[in-house]
Structure 1
Amino acid sequence: MSADTYDYVVVGAGSAGCVVANRLSANPSVRVCLIEGGGSDSSVRVKVPAGILSLYGNPNYDYRYVGVPQPHLNNRRIPVNRGKALGGSSSINSMVYIRGAASDYDEWARLGCAGWGYEDVLPVFKKLERNRLGQNQHYHGTDGELLVDNPRDPNILSKMFVKAGRNADLPSNDDFNAASQLGLGIYNVTQDRGQRFSSYSAFIRPVLDRKNLTVLSECEVLDLVISEGRVTGLRTLRNGERKTINVNREIVLSAGAINSPKILMESGIGEAEALRQQGIEPIIDLPGVGKNLQDHVDGMITVRSSSAKTLGLSVANLPRMLAAPYQYFVNRKGMLTTNYVEAGGFARTKYAGELPDVQFHFVPGYRSHRGKLVEYGHGYAIHTCVLRPKSVGEIKLTTDGSRRDVLIDHRFFSDERDAAVLVEGIRIARSIFASPEFDGVRGEEMLPGKNVRSDDEILAYLRAEALTVYHPVGTCKMGTDAMSVVDPQTLKVNGVEGLRVADASVMPTLIGGNTNAPSMMIGERAARMILNTPH
């Protein structure tokens, strides 16, 4: 058998792909290749939680996508950070372990994805999880590969934030993955003794000695080889060399909500007329590819404070900064343990039904009002996002004449209901900050600013400043309607054999929370489907 031929090829060593490759390669009689476009995750800036500030926008770890101008956000182009390293986005994210609400998955089942209801997926989440917190075992697992823990050394302001929730009638919540998401709390994180624990750390690094598993990093997938309705391989570019990798059984696309539809469209799978306009001969007319893009649109409140209790770059904080490396590498304590969004939670606006419709990510340090990654001084901030947006966008191909790229169009606020929810979310966030808990560290609200008070003024601020919390999903959705891309029972791409998609792109709707853990669950489900397929 050729060294460039495998039984299974998994594209994308991210949250889902690492799970798929682990499970498939557990059978020593099959050869598995895991392909990642990025490089090593061994840098200290990846391992140390506080290093996240050096990852966003860094071309060594981030694809650095930028969306198209958004008409409802003052024609601004929104950054779309996606992980480009072993571990994918789980190597650059904030490590928050959230699954979403039970009803999110029941909604998937209602939309035609039988077998994806909450009672179906909960055992999968539990199998993957190694919970170190002693949380309710009805909801949590203790024997899985994925470590789930509390932050090692939360900042005092993170704890103040949780107590301040009482000012907005928000209870303390120590487990957002149990019966209810409502309330504020310290987030559970995917860390191992204060060190980032990515999907690669959990599922691939421990099995690298498997002789039947090959990991190819810094390897770009150009397109798929399709013959007589079946995928037989893929074309790659690595170290300047183009090579075809053949597959005997199946290819699994786990390249994420941006790159999985891109690879499909590059391969002639997508809306036929749009492909022809890009000079691509359609092989399978599948109009849903790239459609149904959903993401969490986010607004921020940032406050300047003179208190050195907060994280910050200052002369007053110099002793703590100088001590931080020693504290971290000896005791796994101190400033370097922070993931910057140590606390957060969920609330209901006046537009919500039973479920929370906004999520908070609290930062116990100053978020620059000028958009800088790091700014001198102290403060604190809160991000508020719309949990279940109604605005739906799409991803399309474009070309500069030499090679193709993607156009990412979120269409944020194209549905006015999202704007209304986020305005109310900002009001709730302000009521948390108004709590007496913050009196000792209170400072000037820099954004939106104390004079921004009415709904129209807050909305104008959001149009000028809102971004995303980087949870794109839905662009290869599973379902049974005409716009579905994959079959819910198999995750096979409709109309072609030997090809599945297993990542956040298959979500029919965006779950209410962070998407790292749900993507791993999808990877586990996909692997079970493959292993149950006769070959």
Structure 2
Amino acid sequence: METPDYIIVGAGSAGSVLAERLSAGGRHRVVVLEAGGSDRRLFVQMPLGYGKLFYDPSVNWMYRTEPDPGLAGQADFWPRGKLLGGSSSINAMVWIRGHRQDYEDWQAAGNPGWGWDEVLSAYRAMEDNEAGGDAFRGKGGPLFVSANRDGLHPLVTCYIDACAEAGLAFNPDFNGARQEGAGPYQLTVKGGRRNSAARAFLRPAMKRANLHVVTGAQATRVLMEAGRAVGVEYRHGGELKTLRCKAEVILAGGAVNSPQLLQLSGIGPGALLQGLGIEVLRDNPNVGDHLADHQGINYTWRMTRPTYNDLLRPWYGKLAVGLRWLALRDGPLAKSINHGGGFFRTSPDLDRPNMQLYCQAFSTLMPREGERPVLSPDPFPGFSLGLSNCRPTSRGHIRLRTPDPLAAPVITANAFSTNHDVEEMLAAVKFLRHLAAQPALASVMAEELRPGPEVVGDEALIADFRARSGTVYHPSCTCRMGPDEGSAVVDASLRVHGVAGLRVIDASAFPNIIAGNTNAPSMLMGWKGAERVLADAR
């Protein structure tokens, strides 16, 4: 393999965008090392097929956290994408940029160029929004974003009407002028197929002669010489190989794998690395620290009207929607299960929404072994309202368990470890019941199934959400951006502090967690990160 200018480790949401932008123009030779395999699989391309990928080790790292006191001692399950497109190939496809103030906070923390005006310009350049271009939305960019206005389940209208009755106004675009309100979610779906980062960015770029993608290549450490990253060691086809580069190594493995690889390479908490027999090349205890994630829970009701359970549960319903999708790329399989949602404040004193809503016209109370039963829901008309916290204050960490690069790291989530997060979630679940009591929803509900009407009082509600909450798959901030190595891992250009020729460009570099789904800001990291790399190259 010819020596490239840039090595990108990870072909996920950020890595796919990086590969496209760095290889554009043909000036730079780029190699992408991806531990997983191809995204050309039926249930990857089928939007609602992601339930089949939830426990599939061929496309999923299938991590487990340490037992978490905040989740009643449970070890939470963390699916992460292990294929081209990364988690954008197995996620629920909801496209949320985050609140404008999130980015103002990033810039105020000492990260110039990451304020709202700058990221809005990048998002507009990146997107081809079905709703059309305007001051907030982009048109003509490489990433098609569905406005998701057609084919919504009828109960979504009931949900939106109930939100209005509860004081939460309709919002046609959470990525527009304001985030607060209720409405349909924009989705990364194009032509009835998942529009992952791989489909939108990487695969078109793979036609270029100066981009080479190696699948089944798991990086084991960054090669260092005299304080500079010069290449990557990786396992491929059962062999240990090395690849050197002329310019830079860029880690884009995400919030778990990027800090893991830094630690394996001798960059991280010195005492931990010494204890594992790893030579400390740069002692920075922030590597793997500051882990932030959104915690979510569903409340579920039996309905008096049909839901997707009635359609997707019986074999003949599965056959009908499957044939419809195969023939027309249409119907329930052509969308996320999250048709609608929204953002609200648990207190009017807050300056912005602190909770996210999810409206799902189906339910999965009855588990199936080895599968998230999105395609095999409950045998009754079920309906779920979910929520997740937008700005939790609880923080965890990622640590090597062993110097074996193929072993999963220790993930300590520390969910609900602050009183702030517990009190906020308590207020939020009370709002879910308030929402369900509004005439537009109450008129079509038969009974509450989870947690059940017997769960009342603050202690019982807290015990319930500790027992039933879990990640909504948005880990971030473990190699966070900031001007000072005393509190961060990378600078505003995403260069690792104190190490030449090495950057981290993915969700691990978020200075703070974004309010909303993290796939859009992960792609943003790749887009703006590439700008910084190319600017330095010039």
- TM-score (ref. length: structure 2): 0.95
- Please say if residues 311 and 335 of structure 1, whose CA atoms lie closer than 8 Å, have aligned partners that are also in contact: no
Return the match for 2:190 from 187, 192, 195.
Answer: 192
Say if 2:341 is the partner of 1:339. Answer: no
Q: How does 1:95-494 map to 2 (within 5 A)?
A: 95-134=93-132, 137-151=134-148, 153-305=151-303, 307-312=305-310, 320-350=317-347, 353-368=350-365, 373-374=372-373, 375-377=377-379, 378-399=381-402, 404-439=407-442, 441-481=444-484, 482-488=486-492, 490-494=493-497
SS at match of 2:383: strand
- Please say if residues 129 and 147 of structure 2, whose CA atoms lie closer than 8 Å, have aligned partners that are also in contact: no
Q: What amino acid maps onto 2:73 in structure 1?
A: N
> How many angstroms apart in 1 are the aligned matches of 2:403 and 2:276?
11
Instruction: Give the deviation of 1:179 after TM superposition.
Output: 1.7
Give the structure 2 partner of residue 55 of structure 1. 53
- Please say if residues 309 and 378 of structure 2, whose CA atoms lie closer than 8 Å, have aligned partners that are also in contact: no
> How many angstroms apart in 1 are the aligned matches of 2:533 and 2:511?
21
Q: What amino acid maps onto 2:136 in structure 1?
A: Y
- Please say if residues 396 and 406 of structure 1, whose CA atoms lie closer than 8 Å, have aligned partners that are also in contact: yes
SS at match of 1:6: coil
> How many angstroms apart in 2 are the aligned matches of 1:218 and 1:83?
13
> How many angstroms apart in 1 are the aligned matches of 2:535 and 2:229?
20
Greater mean alpha carbon deviation, residues 318-327 or residues 186-195: 318-327
> How many angstroms apart in 2 are the aligned matches of 1:270 and 1:127?
35
- Please say if residues 6 and 245 of structure 2, whose CA atoms lie closer than 8 Å, have aligned partners that are also in contact: yes
Give the structure 1 partner of residue 505 of structure 2. 502
Classify 1:209/1:103 alpha carbon distance in 2 versus 1 (closer, same or farther; 3 Å): same
> How many angstroms apart in 2 are the aligned matches of 1:329 and 1:203?
24
Instruction: Give the deviation of 1:419 after TM superposition.
Output: 1.0
Greater mean alpha carbon deviation, residues 251-260 or residues 363-372: 363-372
Greater mean alpha carbon deviation, residues 110-119 or residues 220-229: 110-119
Question: 1:8-55: CA deviations, max 9, x gaps?
Answer: 011111111111111111132321101111111111101111101101
Classify 1:380/1:416 alpha carbon distance in 2 versus 1 (closer, same or farther; 3 Å): same
- Please say if residues 306 and 379 of structure 1, whose CA atoms lie closer than 8 Å, have aligned partners that are also in contact: no
Return the match for 1:87 from 81, 85, 88.
Answer: 85
Gap regions ≥5 residues in structure 2: none
> How many angstroms apart in 1 are the aligned matches of 2:127 and 2:72?
42
> How many angstroms apart in 2 are the aligned matches of 1:158 and 1:39?
36
Q: What amino acid maps onto 1:147 in structure 2?
A: F
- Please say if residues 312 and 318 of structure 2, whose CA atoms lie closer than 8 Å, have aligned partners that are also in contact: no
> How many angstroms apart in 1 are the aligned matches of 2:425 and 2:153?
27
> How many angstroms apart in 2 are the aligned matches of 1:406 and 1:351?
40
Instruction: Give the deviation of 1:351 after TM superposition.
Output: 7.2
Question: 1:449-475: CA deviations, max 9, x gaps?
Answer: 111121111101011111010000100
Instruction: Give the deviation of 1:439 after TM superposition.
Output: 4.3
Question: 1:384-422: CA deviations, max 9, x gaps?
Answer: 111000111111110297954311111111111111111
Instruction: Give the deviation of 1:4 after TM superposition.
Output: 5.0
Q: What amino acid maps onto 1:499 in structure 2?
A: L
Give the structure 1 partner of residue 44 of structure 2. 46
Greater mean alpha carbon deviation, residues 441-450 or residues 513-522: 441-450
- Please say if residues 264 and 405 of structure 2, whose CA atoms lie closer than 8 Å, have aligned partners that are also in contact: no
Classify 1:189/1:468 alpha carbon distance in 2 versus 1 (closer, same or farther; 3 Å): same
Greater mean alpha carbon deviation, residues 478-487 or residues 373-382: 373-382
SS at match of 1:405: coil
- Please say if residues 321 and 335 of structure 1, whose CA atoms lie closer than 8 Å, have aligned partners that are also in contact: no
Q: What amino acid maps onto 2:363 in structure 1?
A: Y
Greater mean alpha carbon deviation, residues 275-284 or residues 258-267: 275-284
Give the structure 1 partner of residue 534 of structure 2. 531
Q: What amino acid maps onto 1:357 in structure 2?
A: N
Q: What amino acid maps onto 2:378 in structure 1?
A: Y
Instruction: Give the deviation of 1:305 after TM superposition.
Output: 3.3
Q: What amino acid maps onto 2:185 in structure 1?
A: Y
Q: What amino acid maps onto 2:113 in structure 1?
A: G
> How many angstroms apart in 2 are the aligned matches of 1:311 and 1:403?
39
Instruction: Give the deviation of 1:218 after TM superposition.
Output: 1.5
CA RMSD of aligned residues (A): 1.8
